[in-house]
Amino acid sequence: MAFELPALPYAFDALEPNIDARTMEIHHGKHHAAYTNNLNAALAGTEHEGKSIESILANISQFSPAVRNNGGGFFNHNLFWTIMSPNGSPTPAEGTAIHAAITADLGGFDTFKKDFAAAGATRFGSGWAWLSVGADGKLFVSSSPNQDNPLMDVAEKKGTPILGLDVWEHAYYLNYQNRRPDYIESFFNVINWEEVNRRYLAAK
């Protein structure tokens, strides 16, 4: 079974004005599609064909750069589309598990937002900012280069990512040009905290 590009769960223009329709169309239809196709091509005819993406990422040090880059790209964008929503909100609802965990593990929402934004803004070149659940069950913020992520055995900080932000220029350059911090600020308007909370509970 080859990996398939998932449909976007909303229209290309649904996240306007925070993320513009043209960026979403190219990002999903070209970039994510290419990662998916290239991952399938890299696995075709090998013993790893048919394995889950999670099991491949957990042992990524044993794979080729093509599988690392495209497998990461496939997984990361699958996550990215689901944790955004046109009905998103800047903060998680009080009373939710993720709200309580951000307070308990990360010193409160404002500290989390500052640390997460800094992780994205200071990632040199291309990469991702992450909010993840560690093996100890606690939340942590990190960033990774290229299409790496915290599920990979090569990650500096390993865990289950529940929120990710793509800070590659292809994710924001049409609308924000070099203003990555403005893109990061706008991202906080469209976070689907219900989905992040669901992923948090599943990862625990």
**What is the binding site for Mn ion (CB under 5 A)?**
166, 168
Name the minimum Å distance from CB 77 to Mn ion.
6
Task: Report the residue closest to Mn ion, judged by CB.
Answer: 166
Closest to Mn ion by CB, 170 vs 204, is 170
Q: How far is CA 26 from CA 3, 11, 22, 129, 131, in A?
A: 19, 13, 6, 21, 25
Question: Closer CB to Mn ion, residue 148 or residue 166?
Answer: 166
Rounded CA separation 29/102 (Å): 34
- What's the min distance (Å) between Cβ of 123 and Mn ion? 13
State the minimum distance, in angstroms, from the CB of residue 106 to Mn ion.
25
Q: Which CB atom, from 21 or from 201, has the smaller least distance to Mn ion?
A: 21
Quick check: helix, strand or coil at residue 52? coil
Q: Which is nearer to Mn ion, 168 or 193 (CB)?
A: 168
Q: CA 186, CA 19: separation in Å to the nearest integer?
A: 8
Q: Round the CA-based radius of gyration of the chain to a whole number and report it.
A: 16
